[in-house]
Structure 1
């Protein structure tokens, strides 16, 4: 029995807030979920400067010590605790959340992670393997009563290996009971079909079994998501040794339907891209968050939108939104307006070719000579038709459905955003930074540091806060912690399972 762990468990069961350390925290999606559940976000480790600033601003009021980027490979647990004045390393943290980036496992090779753990010197020249070692080192030193790791489903079948199972084997040697599963964010009130591996581990002193949160919403996942899940589970079901895997909790059709894209972003101010372009109010260049856009009170808000506006501690700014900004894509706005929901790049390319042919015929009808192969012909085609081969980029674009959750948001939003074209033909554009945040379940008062591209990247990399909340409440309940509900909290009963 570990006296520090016993002391932490007693403290939590007496009603004290759980103290959370978020590793590889990003801007703080998982932190926000645990904060919503009543935890204290004591510290975070994040290497990206903009994301670290966002985390420090939202959870520590911009305190400089909490806003600095931290390299986990050169910052020891003791150094972190000293820098942030957390207290004795063994006593100051109750729960560690987060997970090494999936690239950390890319070059570990054929050896198992448990062998990396046992023979770390063999991987001293592989910085990505070192991220995994440092993660375990933080767990060793802080001795949390619970560990939560989130990552991509491919962790279950990474080159024929099950990284999640190997991680459980390593944690078991350190005194933890560990299980993992796959959860889809759409089943937990997030307006996005985002599939993730979630691993939960408890110290054996806690005497509790691992379980996962019951869904609060129902959705029939599209075939692509079911197929991806099947691929991820292939290794799990092929190995009799995968004893740490639990089947995901099943969503019932009797639950409320999943939150749709329109419920998530339909109340936000409209941005008519073609109109702004015609008025020369949209131009190329970095999008800085320095112009307020007031809410349009005439637009009805769903219960989900109201939660995003009234999230305690992250309420909507009364003056309006600073980050409701969009990309400058002048070639494509007219094309976006002609796409149907669900259309992807092959459909978009075919539509663009037709638009080009119509424009070509119109110009020729006026007597203008534009022959195929000429510079004028090629320039006109380039101004209308995207250059990518539709047979090689079938999933590059997608127009969202109004009445379904969005597809998975990726960090790639920081480069083009074509994966999420707004469902509203009148607006005819890709989603704004704030719309991306809404689809990821970040409240309107959550601030993203940096300009537009870094903000998109932070959002795409994040754990959806409402999925984090469901996991956090499940963990706290298992540990015997009961949250003292505040009278000022927004109504979230509709997020609870029936």
Structure 2
């Protein structure tokens, strides 16, 4: 089927009431998918290399169908093979929307001339590991020719070593028949209790003849200086080449008249407190999600109510993944920190605790000689070993009255970047608290053990941000379908 006929056929299917079908590439556990699902889209398929993340995506969007829980390597899987394996039908009719974000480390100085060669030389640059995943994403776009697509990534893709990857992508997509625009959105402006800046690119088939719009903010917060600075760095290349990035659209900024941003306490305060570690009731070993943590009886915030009652992902009694890391050296130290404290303050507090321990031993008649093996062992049991000059931001105690700082993928290795604001609990956040900060509802399942779940959450697109973007794609289809209802059988010129 020709490209024009394929577009018309899919528009006709939507006009008859069919739900728009989504393919999620580099899907992770499904943050983007969940946002689109919430707007009425059908999650038709996904491609994800990580085994646990693929299992999570399948468990949430295709429970009981093992085909959708299988990890797949996009570099070894053609679009035709994917469509065949999942019974999606002909590739040019299989999906309506393609979403996803190639891993940011995949971006290299590819250049638009090289992007053009994809269509003519399918094997071009196949051996270039730096660019391969990025090019595979574009190959899938070329094969499926979705009516609309969303690409998500870090703001740095606007200025990657002097290269605007988003603009080069836009120009390539235009050659495939799309109109494309991109912008920067902060998740906190869309109801996510987390300050997380993302580049969002939206592209729509030119035949649909509709404007591309980005979601209006719903919440307001003054971002800390570091976020404004990061945005300025990302936009520096655009400003230094005036007019060289016509695809960039400045996003609408929030105003103080909007709802206040959702805070960490709004997001996590209704979950049961965790204090067993302070009594010595938590040991080493894998953390499994096999124990229900019942909701306490208390008044919920609107956000907590949403997380408990998200349609299709409800949780009535409690959560199963409210588990934390085993960090016995630092639990008492966490309680000493003030909200907003980072590693230098933590290290100084730990040194004071060490000095107090030495003084206590001295009061009891035991002198520990400075520099002795016993002195070194005692210090190591209290004071973290990291250089305060090299790791100024390694730790952070969360502020209860602000959205959380950005959750990173290294949550899978440690959680010191998000120490719970409640000193009485004196710990880092749990898996479920991390999920709440990303706006995953309580009924959303994470497969694998604790480390795998943290990694999936840290890598995800916040579902509420995805829901806002999906709403704009839904509006695109509503405008296009409505026009075709008035003029059956053809699209606007």
Q: TM-score band (shorter)?
A: over 0.9
State the distance in 1 between where 2:16 and 2:220 align. 35
Name the structure 1 match of 2:207. Answer: 205
Q: With structure 1 as the length reference, what TM-score do the two structures score?
A: 0.93
State the distance in 2 between where 1:140 and 1:148 align. 14
Kept after mapping to 1: 8 A contact 2:210/2:480? no
State the distance in 1 between where 2:64 and 2:162 align. 43
Name the structure 1 match of 2:43. Answer: 41
1:23 offset after TM fit, Å? 0.4
Cα gap change, 1:348/1:286 in structure 2, threshold over 3 Å: closer, same or farther? same
- Which segment drifts farther, 337-346 or 128-137? 128-137
Name the structure 2 match of 1:221. Answer: 223
Cα gap change, 1:35/1:113 in structure 2, threshold over 3 Å: closer, same or farther? farther
- Which segment drifts farther, 388-397 or 357-366? 357-366
State the distance in 2 between where 1:353 and 1:280 align. 23
2:401 to 400, 403, 407: 403
Q: With structure 2 as the length reference, what TM-score do the two structures score?
A: 0.94
- Which segment drifts farther, 242-251 or 174-183? 242-251
1:280 offset after TM fit, Å? 2.9
State the distance in 1 between where 2:250 and 2:368 align. 62
SS at match of 2:200: strand
Q: Would you say how many aligned residue pairs link Structure 1 and Structure 2?
A: 477
Name the structure 1 match of 2:173. Answer: 171
Name the structure 1 match of 2:136. Answer: 134
Kept after mapping to 2: 8 A contact 1:112/1:166? no
2:21 to 9, 13, 19: 19
1:179 offset after TM fit, Å? 0.4
Runs of 5+ in structure 1 lacking a partner?
A: 484-498
State the distance in 1 between where 2:213 and 2:112 align. 29
Name the structure 1 match of 2:290. Answer: 290
Name the structure 2 match of 1:379. Answer: 377
Deviations 1:345-387 (A, max 9, x none): 0010011101111111111122101010101111111111000
Runs of 5+ in structure 2 lacking a partner?
A: 482-493
Q: Does 1:327 align with 2:331?
A: no
Kept after mapping to 1: 8 A contact 2:183/2:251? yes
Cα gap change, 1:109/1:144 in structure 2, threshold over 3 Å: closer, same or farther? closer
1:95 to 94, 97, 112: 97
Kept after mapping to 2: 8 A contact 1:191/1:260? yes
Cα gap change, 1:262/1:482 in structure 2, threshold over 3 Å: closer, same or farther? farther
2:426 to 408, 425, 428: 428
Deviations 1:15-58 (A, max 9, x none): 32110000000000000000000000000000000000000000
2:71 to 69, 82, 89: 69
State the distance in 2 between where 1:460 and 1:311 align. 20
State the distance in 2 between where 1:482 and 1:37 align. 17
